[in-house]
């Protein structure tokens, strides 16, 4: 198995050093870059962007994590994005997810959770700390849906709901295809339809949609 190439962005050097100390104990990972803030990260990526996952803080000087992921998503779409931060408020979480962040963990997470989250995101899934999911759900419950949104809503087919349910369970395209006895190409088609019908920009948007509509009892 090839190594997962990580780029660490955090304005606290001690955080970066701590991450490197335990991540490098696992031969799965290779730290290929690090930066104090978003601006420095982009300067480094201009020279070498052979990176699998960018793990970034949100609140940083010069350029924060939100602006950084916006640039990286546009310039280097092959890089998967994860947030590792102390900011657990729903407004920060929703903004980061809306920009394509596939993982959002709080810095009080365990080493095991962080490693597991990185591996899930690398395989094409999404991972959010339980506290993050709870913050999103609690925020959504306080917001009353607008009538215009309900009027324009397009119902999902049973098969689309099946696919969405498995997406929320962090299954890869192959795992979804195997479980539903369909091809990977069909899974991709269902994902495109789900994005169109829900008005979502990415998988994070689909997750927020499913939580908002309370589509599944076990999520």
Residue 100: closest CA among 71, 135, 132, 64:
71
Asked if pLDDT for residue 134 goes beyond 80, the answer is no
Regarding predicted confidence, which is higher, 86 or 45?
Answer: 45
Give me the domains of the chain, ranges plus CATH numbers: 4-140 (3.40.50.2300), 158-213 (1.10.10.10)
d(CA 115, CA 188): 27
pTM for this entry: 0.65
**DSSP secondary structure, 21-60, as one string:** HHHTTSTTEEEEEEESSHHHHHHHHHH----SEEEE-SS-
Q: How many CB atoms lie within 10 A of CB 67?
A: 16
Regarding predicted confidence, which is higher, 143 or 189?
Answer: 189
Asked if pLDDT for residue 146 goes beyond 90, the answer is no
The band of 190, judged by pLDDT with boundaries at 50, 70 and 90, is: very high
21-25, 116-120, 183-187, 206-210: least confidently modelled range: 206-210
């Amino acid at each position: 198995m090839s190594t997962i190439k990580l780029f660490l962005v955090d304005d606290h050097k001690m955080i970066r050093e701590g991450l490197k100390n335990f991540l490098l104990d696992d031969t799965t990972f290779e730290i290929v870059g690090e930066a104090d803030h978003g601006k420095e990260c982009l300067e480094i990526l201009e020279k070498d962007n052979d990176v699998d996952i960018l793990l970034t803080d949100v609140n940083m000087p010069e350029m924060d994590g939100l602006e950084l992921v916006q640039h990286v998503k546009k310039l280097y779409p092959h890089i998967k994005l994860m947030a590792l931060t102390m900011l657990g408020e729903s407004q920060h979480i929703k903004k980061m997810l809306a920009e394509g962040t596939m993982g959002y963990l709080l810095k009080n997470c365990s080493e095991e959770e962080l490693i597991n989250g990185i591996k899930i995101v690398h395989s094409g899934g999404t991972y959010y700390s339980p506290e993050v999911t709870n913050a999103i759900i609690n925020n959504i419950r306080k917001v009353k849906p607008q009538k215009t949104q309900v009027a324009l809503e397009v119902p999902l087919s049973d098969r689309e709901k099946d696919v969405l349910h498995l997406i929320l369970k962090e299954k890869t395209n192959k795992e979804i295809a195997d479980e539903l006895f369909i091809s990977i190409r069909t899974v991709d088609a269902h994902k495109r339809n789900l994005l169109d019908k829900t008005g979502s920009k990415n998988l994070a948007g689909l997750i927020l949609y499913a939580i908002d509509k309370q589509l599944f009892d076990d999520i």
